[in-house]
Chains A and B, each alone.
Chain A
């Protein structure tokens, strides 16, 4: 068993006082979320995870708040014993900022629970359903060498899963999380199993492939258990003794790993995946110390074992950047010395233009990392910090607990693998915007510079030559809309999270007004940057259910233009009043004055800080900002906007 995976080596070991801190929770004043997460951010074994879950359960029973953990309700359908897994899931979810509540129907009631509309699972209205099946749940029969019969078996298995999915979609419309199937470790023929149609191996290969295609097309979520099992090895994954004794579908030693994978998937659905990789330089990005060893002395060349280890880190960073992860640098160095390898070393894969923020100075790393977050306009909980030096890691963990800081092994050859194993950048879906995102943040840094040069804000905005495009929700924009709804924390008035099916519902409901906003400028296309949903409130009133914006376009008066557009559509629909709500979270202080700045009148202020605002639609609205407006709304159909 490779301990990197079975013992979660990217996490620090559990502290000596783990039990004492758990006990202290009983007398700790609520909210308990931060301390629970701090405890969960260690490599906990099943017993420790179970104790953590029990402590959470006790806190819940006493009515104590688990803020700032985000609540999530997960139903688990399984053909195996999950009783030992469920507490581990709850404990692991806290690690990822989720207060997980699980719904666990009786053993082996899968079909009933999925298909009967008022079953325990369907009537509990979970946020998501995890189909925690292994291959023994499928109607698989060997059809050796018979291509046609094998295809029928695969169709049957996929059809079964689809039927269960349809049951859940009809019954409670939860997000469905499907697991791929880990093939058993025992061959029948041997190598031929992979090639011959109708062997267990071949059937499971095909089912996994079909399932992956199906999930990609349906907008459901995939948990690649087959991939996890491959990574640790099928013989380590399956434990026949435990299956026989207690119907455990995989080894108990891998429960913490599995639970962490489920937790990262759920956290990703809640928009909690990390967005930025902050790299240390000396002995992380290259071998050696540039300030001491000089350009010729650092190890970064192909063919040099040590150098190749660090090149692997660079390659991973570049690949992550390609899928939209922002790369930044934090190094204790003199700026020009730190930049030298990027500019002059021929073997460096990372170049300066890949780095969104480059912080090389002699400040402590916590200060630098804070500056990076501020410059990128992202929360500290969006950041991952990779550093070979345990002292720096400890400092950042202590001062900035929101930043993810993986432990690294002694051997640099395993740095890249360890970072990848931690799964900080888990994504349930991939939108084409992701491809460009790293570039957006960099362009933004350029824009800030330009702002400094131009001086006046209005002149600066005019110089950007912006085009803003308004559209109702549609199928093309949906993936990005769902992503924004679930990821935006700072410029988000109500922080309401909606799943893909809920967004489709809003899209199709003629009484709901939806708006997706795109912005292009001199530097390129920013893609979709804002989402608004208005629902009918009191007569002739629109309740602004959701108003969020990407922080990339802060200070561009985009919100002014959105309000102007909103007012226009509201008037056309015979609406007299807009009512907006600001619901405070620990992340959205940025928009506390959003409605005040837009000329709304405050009508309510609760002790919690929640405020309500209204604006009559005959108001003129804010002055137009210097940008071209494109409105792509179909002409109002009778009964839709009127």
Chain B
């Protein structure tokens, strides 16, 4: 799976999780840019991503995430 496929899939996930179809998913996108991206929605997002890409993140990996770019790197590392 290449980066563009991951971003396409993530876009659907973001729309679903945040109930907002206008979100454009970019590497720089982070919690401060999205309405309703609080710590709880963050967990729902991570859990949805884990399920969709069939990956599992460690607690420290989740703790270090700064933006979508970090998340995509994590997915890429695990999803062969």
**Chain A residues engaging chain B, CB cutoff 8 angstroms:** 19, 46-48, 50-51, 54, 81, 83-84, 241-242, 244-246, 252-253
Contact = CB atoms under 8 A, between A and B. Distances in A.
A245 B43 contact: yes
Contacts of A51: 16, 19
Contacts of B16: 19, 47-48, 51
A61 to B, nearest CB: 15
B59 interface: yes
A81 B51 CA distance: 21
A203 to B, nearest CB: 29
A51 B40 CA distance: 15
30 contacts: A19-B15, A19-B16, A19-B21, A46-B44, A46-B47, A47-B16, A47-B17, A47-B44, A47-B48, A48-B16, A51-B16, A51-B19, A54-B19, A83-B40, A84-B40, A84-B43, A84-B44, A241-B59, A242-B43, A244-B59, A245-B43, A245-B59, A245-B62, A246-B39, A246-B40, A246-B43, A252-B43, A252-B44, A252-B47, A253-B51
A244 B62 CA distance: 12
Contacts of B40: 81, 83-84, 246
Contacts of A246: 39-40, 43
User: Dominant SS at the B interface?
Assistant: helix
Interface in B1-31: 15-17, 19, 21
A244 B43 CA distance: 12
Contacts, number: 34
Q: For chain B, which range describes its interface: under 10, 10 to 19, 20 to 34, or 35 or more residues?
A: 10 to 19
A19 B15 CA distance: 10
Contacts of B43: 84, 242, 245-246, 252
Contacts of B15: 19
Contacts of B39: 246
Interface of B: 15-17, 19, 21, 39-40, 43-44, 47-48, 51, 59, 62
A296 B29 CA distance: 68
B12 to A, nearest CB: 10
Nearest to B48: A47
Nearest to A54: B19
Contacts of A54: 19
A-B pairs with lowest CB-CB distance, top 8: A47-B16, A51-B19, A252-B47, A83-B40, A246-B43, A54-B19, A47-B17, A245-B59
A96 B62 CA distance: 36
B78 to A, nearest CB: 16
Query: Of residues B16, B47, B48, B51, which shows the largest number of chain A Cβ atoms within 10 Å of its Cβ?
Result: B47
A250 to B, nearest CB: 13
Nearest to A81: B40
Nearest to B39: A246
Contacts of B47: 46, 252
A48 B15 CA distance: 11
A329 B21 CA distance: 47
Contacts of A252: 43-44, 47
A134 to B, nearest CB: 18
Nearest to A245: B59
B2 to A, nearest CB: 25
A365 to B, nearest CB: 35
Contacts of A81: 40
Query: Of residues A47, A83, A245, A252, which shows the largest number of chain B Cβ atoms within 10 Å of its Cβ?
Result: A47
A51 B48 CA distance: 14
Contacts of A19: 15-16, 21
A19 B16 CA distance: 8
Contacts of B19: 50-51, 54
A48 B44 CA distance: 12
A19 B40 CA distance: 22
B66 to A, nearest CB: 17
A247 B16 CA distance: 23
Contacts of A242: 43
B64 to A, nearest CB: 13
Contacts of A245: 43, 59, 62
A253 B51 CA distance: 9
Contacts of A244: 59
Nearest to B45: A47
A314 B47 CA distance: 40
A19 B44 CA distance: 18
Query: Of residues A19, A48, A54, which shows the largest number of chain B Cβ atoms within 10 Å of its Cβ?
Result: A19
Nearest to A51: B19
Nearest to A18: B16
A252 B45 CA distance: 12
B45 to A, nearest CB: 9
Nearest to B62: A245
A245 B44 CA distance: 12
A300 B14 CA distance: 51
A48 B13 CA distance: 11
B37 to A, nearest CB: 14
Contacts of B21: 19
A245 B47 CA distance: 12
B38 to A, nearest CB: 9
A244 B63 CA distance: 12
A51 B59 CA distance: 27
B3 to A, nearest CB: 23
A84 to B, nearest CB: 6
Nearest to A46: B44
A54 B59 CA distance: 29
Contacts of B62: 245
A54 B18 CA distance: 11
Given A51-B16, A253-B51, 18 more contacts: A19-B15, A19-B16, A19-B21, A47-B16, A47-B17, A48-B16, A50-B44, A51-B19, A54-B19, A81-B40, A83-B40, A84-B40, A84-B44, A245-B62, A246-B39, A246-B40, A252-B43, A252-B44
